[in-house]
Structures are given as structure tokens and as C-alpha cells.
């Protein structure tokens, strides 16, 4: 049985506007999560909270991220999706993900 993906705020809309190859790769990573497998391109985001991770992708135009949390009940919460403009994640993106995490 696949785990449910819950999109918070405008995260689904933002991710839907990513370039097609990026969406396909990130979709595959989310599918791995739904099956209970570890994503291939993911890392912890302890600056946001315990149990929070990001899926990373990039193309010639920049870096794309999905920040997610796995709830104890098995749901996958997509807290935020965005395109990074620099190597460091913007404070606004981290704060938005923290606010959405608190809402779960």
C-alpha cells in the first residue's frame, strides 16, 4: 500500500511549474517514498526540524527542491517546493517550511 502524499500551501502548484524532466525525477523520488524506500537524491534538513528532508534536482537553469516530512501515521507532507537562486537555501524558504511543519 502506498503512503499518502499531502501537499501543503502552494507546494503542488509550484512543483507543477518545474521543467518536465525535473518533475519526472522528483515524482519518482516521491514514489520511492510512498513505497517506503529511501529517495536517491535526498538529505536531512535539520535546520527545519527532525524528520524533515529535501529532494534535490538540478538542470542548466538552476537547483530545484522539495522539502518534505514523514508523519508518524505514514503520510508524506510536502512542506515546500522552490527553485534555488544560490547555493544556500534562502531564509524565507526555510521559515515557510517551518511554519507549514507546525501546521501538521
pLDDT in tens, 86-104: 878 889 999 999 999 999 8
DSSP-assigned letter for residue 49: -
Domain ranges (residues) in the chain? 5-102
CA neighbor of 65 nearest in space, from 73, 56, 74:
56
Exposure of 24 in the CB half-sphere (CA atoms within 13 A)? 4
Look up the pTM and report it: 0.92
Distance between alpha carbon 98 and the CA centroid of its chain, in Å?
13
pLDDT digit string, tens, across residues 7-40: 999 999 999 999 999 999 999 999 999 999 999 9
In the CATH hierarchy, which fold is given to the domain comprising 5-102?
YaeB-like fold (3.30.2310)
Amino acid at each position: 500500500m502506498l503512503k499518502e502524499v499531502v501537499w501543503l500551501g502552494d507546494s503542488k502548484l509550484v512543483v507543477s511549474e518545474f521543467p518536465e524532466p525535473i518533475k519526472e525525477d522528483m515524482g519518482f523520488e516521491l514514489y520511492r517514498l510512498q513505497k517506503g524506500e529511501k529517495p536517491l537524491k535526498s538529505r536531512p534538513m535539520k535546520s527545519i526540524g527532525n524528520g524533515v528532508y529535501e529532494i534535490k534536482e538540478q538542470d542548466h537553469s538552476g537547483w530545484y527542491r522539495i522539502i518534505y516530512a514523514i508523519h508518524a501515521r505514514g503520510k508524506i507532507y510536502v512542506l515546500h517546493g522552490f527553485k534555488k537562486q544560490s547555493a544556500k537555501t534562502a531564509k524565507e524558504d526555510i521559515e515557510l517550511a517551518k511554519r507549514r511543519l507546525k501546521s501538521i
